[in-house]
Amino acid sequence: MSRDDDLALVREYTKNENLVRHMLAVEAAVRAYARKLGEDE
């Protein structure tokens, strides 16, 4: 499953746009921490 497929599912089941934005911000933070700690993103 690609990230685009994942995002489509999130948007299908989550109608609150602010919640979607929050999810994307959390995703970005987790990716940054993984990168910083040398882990798989």
pLDDT tens string 9-34? 999 999 999 999 999 999 999 999 99
Report how far residue 7's alpha carbon sits from residue 31's, in angstroms, rounded to the nearest whole number.
16
**Annotated domain spans of the chain:** 3-36
Report how far residue 1's alpha carbon sits from residue 33's, in angstroms, rounded to the nearest whole number.
23
pLDDT bin (cut points 50, 70, 90) of residue 37 is very high
Q: Which residues of 1-34 are buried (b: 16+ CB within 10 A; e: fewer)?
A: eeeeeeeeeeeeeeeeeeeeeeeeeeeeeeeeee
Look at 1 and 26; give whichever has higher pLDDT.
26
Whole-model pTM: value is: 0.81
Q: What is the pLDDT of residue 26?
A: 98
